[in-house]
Amino acid sequence: MMHTAVGWHVELEFQEDDQHTRAAAMVRLPDGTEVRGHGRASRHHTDSNQPRVGEEIAGARALDEIARKLLGKAHDEIDQASGRTSHPIHM
């Protein structure tokens, strides 16, 4: 059996103010396809200012959107190749 190493390029960017964090994520697949996702996080006024926590939440939400898009893309490709309807397993 032959093993092949494949890499995906992932980028995350954040925009923040005192109360909100927005994340934009992009994954570039080996064929050049780019899949993008966005996430947001808001800090309650009584919470301490912890920018990293906002980044983790907003980043996770952006990556979750990408994960769902990739699942849909994969199942579309399965359906096209097989001629039947596949059913994604949702996270």
Residue 18, domain member (yes or no): yes
Give mean pLDDT, residues 50-65: 94
Which are the contacts of 19, defined by CB distance < 8 A and separation ≥ 6? 42, 43, 45
pLDDT band for position 18 (cuts 50, 70, 90): confident
pLDDT at residue 5, rounded to an integer:
81
The CATH number linked to 60 is 3.30.160.240
Per the structure, the count of domains in the chain is 1
CB 36 within 8 A of CB 26: yes
Which domain does 78 fall in, by range? Answer: 9-82
Predicted model pTM: 0.83
